Amino acid sequence: MDDAADILNRIRDVVGSEPKTVPLHAPEFNGNEWSFVKECIDTGWVSSVGSFVDDFERKVAAAAGTRNAVAVVNGTAALEIALRLVGVSPGDEVIVPALTFVATANAVTHIGAVPHFAEATATTLCLDPIALDAHLDQIAEHGPLGLVNRQTGRRIAAIVPMHALGYPVNMERLTELADRRGVAVVEDAAEALGSRFQGRPCGGLGRLGAFSFNGNKIITTGGGGAVTTNDDDLAKRVKHLTTTAKVPHPWAFDHDAPGYNYRLPNLNAALGCAQFEALPARLAEKRALAARYADAFADCKTAEMVHKAEDAGSNFWLNAIRLNEPDRRDHVLSQLNEAGIQARPLWRLMHRLPFHISCPRADLTVAEDLEARVICLPSSAQLGRSA
C-alpha cells in the first residue's frame, strides 16, 4: 500500500469515517460560555475591567502554579511584555528555538531586539538545552553587560524555551545553563496550558511565562493571552505597562511611561472562565486521543508518533507523526488533506523566513530534519471522547 494511504487508514481508525472533514483543532463551547458572555452584555461590563478578568487571572495563575497572572490581548503581546520586563532592550539578542510559531520571534523583533535561533531535540521538538549550552560556550562570553555574543557584539538578554505542541522543554537543564550564565528565562507556554515538567506546571518555571488563548489552543478566549510570574513586583509592572501605564487616580489621566493598551476585555475573559471549567475533561480526552494514535501507529512501517503517549507531562495539545522518509512529507500531506484530514506540517523554520535572514543561529541540523518529516494530526479534544 502507498504510504499516504496507509497513514490515512490509521488516522481514520482513530477519528472515524465521519465527519468527512476533520479539522486540525476545533474550539468547543459546551458549557457556560453563552451565559457568561451574556452577563457581560447585560451588566455593561464588556471592556478591560470586570469580574471575569479577575476570575480568569486567578484561574490562569492556578493552572500555571504561579502567584500571579495578568490577562492580555494575545500570546504575542504576553511574550513581548514579559521580554521587556526581564530587561530585553533594542539591540539585544534573545535565544529562541528555530522550530516555533513565528510569534515567539516576532515578540523579540517588536522590541527592536534580534532573535538568535537555537536547535531542537528530535524526541521532544523543543529547544535542546545541551546543544544550546555547547553553542553558547562557543560563541558567547561574559562582559560587563552580561553574556555577550562574541560574533555580533550584542548582549544575549534572555532565553525563550517553547513547549512544542504541549510537550515540556527539559526545564531543569535549561534553567541550570541560564542561571550559570545569568540570563533570564521567559517561557513560551502558549501551547502548554496544563502541561507539566517533573510535576510542576509549565508557565511557572521561568521568571515569567506567556500563554495564548487563541482559537486553536487547548482552551480559548477568542483571542487572548496571559503573563504569569511568581514575582509580585513584576506582575504589578505587567499590569501597569499593559494598562497604558496609567497612574492610579480616581479621575485624573496621568501616565508615567509610553504604555500599551494590551488588557484582555471582560467579554473575552468571560468566554475563558467558561472554557476553564472544561479544561480537566479536555486534558483527559487529549491524553486518551494520544493513546489511540499511539495504538494506531504502533506497527506502522513508514511513520511513528513523535511524542509517546506514556510520556508524563504533556497536555497533548497536538499529536504529530515523524515520517521515515523526508521527501514524502508533501505527498502525504496533500493526500491527507484531499481526503478531508486537515493535517499540517510544522512551522517553516524561523531562520528560513526572509525577514530573519541576517539573524544569528546555531547549528540547526535536527530542526531542519524535523521540519522535513513531521506532520501534525487532527487533535481536537472531542476526538478523544469515549463514544
Ligand X SMILES: *Cc1c(COP(=O)(O)O)cnc(C)c1O
Residues that bind ligand X (CB under 6 A): 74-76, 100-101, 103-104, 162, 188, 190-191, 212, 214, 225
Q: Which of 249, 233, 286, 260 is nearest to 28 (CA)?
A: 286
Residue corresponding to grid cell 528560513: 352
Q: What pairing do the DSSP bridges indicate for beta strands 93-97 and 208-212? A: unpaired
Nearest distance from C-beta of residue 120 to ligand X, angstroms: 13
Q: In the bound complex, which residue of the shown chain has the CB atom lying closest to ligand X? A: 75
Looking at beta carbons only, is 218 or 241 nearer to ligand X? 218
DSSP string, 41-81: HHHT--SS-SHHHHHHHHHHHHHHT-SEEEEES-HHHHHHH
Task: State which residue, 10 or 204, has the beta carbon closest to ligand X.
Answer: 204
Least Cβ distance, residue 214 to ligand X (angstroms): 4
| DSSP string computed for 156-178 | EEEE--B-GGGPPP-HHHHHHHH
| Distant-in-sequence, close-in-space partners of 373: CB < 8 Å, separation ≥ 6 | 322, 323, 324, 325, 326, 329
Q: What are the beta bridge partners of residue 342?
A: none
Q: Quote the Cα angle for 80-82-86, to 5°.
A: 115
Q: How far is the CB of 166 from ligand X (least distance, A)?
A: 10
Instruction: Pick between residue 162 and residue 336 the one whose CB is nearest to ligand X.
Output: 162
* Pair 91, 149: CB distance under 8 Å: no
What number of CA atoms fall less than 13 Å from residue 57's CA on the CB side?
Answer: 23
Residue closer to ligand X, measured from CB, 167 or 297: 167
In whole angstroms, the minimum distance from the beta carbon of 158 to ligand X comes to 15
Q: Which is nearer to ligand X, 293 or 347 (CB)?
A: 347
Closest CA to 157 of 231, 236, 94, 115: 94
Nearer to ligand X among residue 33 and residue 80 (C-beta): 80
Task: Give min distance, CB of 149 to ligand X, in A.
Answer: 23
Which one, 92 or 187, has the nearer CB to ligand X? 187
Contacts of 10 (CB under 8 A, 6+ apart): 296, 297, 300
Cβ neighbourhood burial of 28 (10 Å; 0-12, 13-18, 19+): middle
By C-beta, is 28 or 39 nearer to ligand X?
Answer: 28
CB of 324 to ligand X, least distance (A): 27
Q: How far is the CB of 250 from ligand X (least distance, A)?
A: 33
CB of 148 to ligand X, least distance (A): 27
In angstroms and rounded to an integer, the radius of gyration of the C-alpha atoms of the chain is 21
